[in-house]
Amino acid sequence: ATPTSIMVGTGKAAELGILFRHGEALQTLNSVRAVIFDKTGTLTLGRPALTDLDPSPGFEEAELLRLVAAVETRSEHPIAQAIVEAAKAKGLKVPEAEAFEAVPGFGARAQVAGRRIEVGADRFMAHLGVPISPVAHAAEQMAAQAKTPLYAAIDGELAGLLAVADPIKPTTPEALTALHRTGLKVVMVTGDNRRTAGAVAAALGLDDVLAEVLPDGKAEAVKALQQRYGRVAFVGDGVNDAPALATADVGLAMGAGTDIAIESADVVLMRSDLRAVATAIALSRAVLNNIR
Ligand code: ADP
Ligand code: MG
């Protein structure tokens, strides 16, 4: 493509809320074989809500939520926000937490009213040596409905099973259909539970899923997918998407995402609507095929 045609293409893209940070990305996009999406905040709204709260025998619902919310008040994870909001909605008084610690990709913990509270994924409980088998079946059923099951432990004992659900953006199905129509593979990479990810993948008709990817494993996941598909684009919004955005042949960040994601990307999508990804690819093809 000539410098002029690239300028025309990126100008047209900008009018549509698609900011190319350099012209090369417009050319590279044309040769991409698969588009990899982060789940939370990219395919989904990124605003999970608490859907389930099941205390273990001997534990009380309001007390469980109060203690878990105390920990999550200190966390910046979107899941934490869902739990804090649920406690607020129930009018619970949330106590102060001490010695808070986030364990990225696993969960969070703190001391609350002299008790040790831990909340997170099944792998967090496995790491802590807290058995979750009594609720394994219930958790599987939640995950099959695309909910993310969470486990709470009080002083090392399983105190409850919770779940959050993060709705898919209304425009996501159409965005993925458009990509499929242009012959691209559509893939999801997420830190979420394997079964939850599988349910989301089935609902969206995804071609491939990598689940339970730890925060620092996303770039490696992109490399593995490059081996499988050839050139890839990665679309994400979070702090832990930055290495994947930089590793992909083309990184596209949501404009509403974190600064570090935007800085690591080649393209910034001003609207949180993934239909812009197919539009960007169509523009790339138009520039390379017609105006050459
Ligand atoms: P993702 O953003 O894709 O969910 P993360 O790596 O941030 O991936 O988290 C992976 C999993 O770890 C979450 O799905 C959740 O089960 C658990 N987790 C992480 N942080 C928290 C937290 N603050 N509270 C509860 N669970 C958490
Ligand atoms: Mg995200």
pLDDT digits (tens, 9 = 90+) for 2-37: 889 999 999 999 999 999 999 999 999 999 999 999
Note if 38 is an active site residue: yes
User: Which residue, judged by its Cα, is nearest atom 20 of ligand 1?
Assistant: 107
Judged on CB neighbours under 10 Å (0-12, 13-18, 19+), 65 is buried
Number of CB atoms found within 10 A of residue 30's CB: 18
Over residues 157-211, the pLDDT tens digits come to 999 999 999 999 999 999 999 999 999 999 999 999 999 999 999 999 999 999 9
Cβ of 148 closer than 6 Å to ligand 1, yes or no, is yes
What is the C-alpha separation between 73 and 187, in angstroms, rounded? Answer: 33
Report residue 292's pLDDT band, with 50, 70 and 90 as the boundaries: very low
What is the pairing mode between strands 232-236 and 34-38? parallel
Answer yes or no: is the C-beta of 249 below 6 A from any ligand 1 atom.
no
Angle at 264 between CA 261 and CA 269, to 5 degrees: 60
Is ipTM beyond 0.85?
yes
- Bridge partner list, 210: 189
Assign 104 a pLDDT band (cuts: 50, 70, 90): very high
Task: Return the structure tokens found at 233.
Answer: 């684009």
* 35-74 pLDDT per residue, tens: 999 999 999 999 999 999 999 999 999 999 999 999 999 9
Does ligand 1 come within 6 angstroms of the Cβ of 150? yes
Atom from ligand 1 closest to the CA of residue 102: 23
Residue range 228-243: average pLDDT? 96
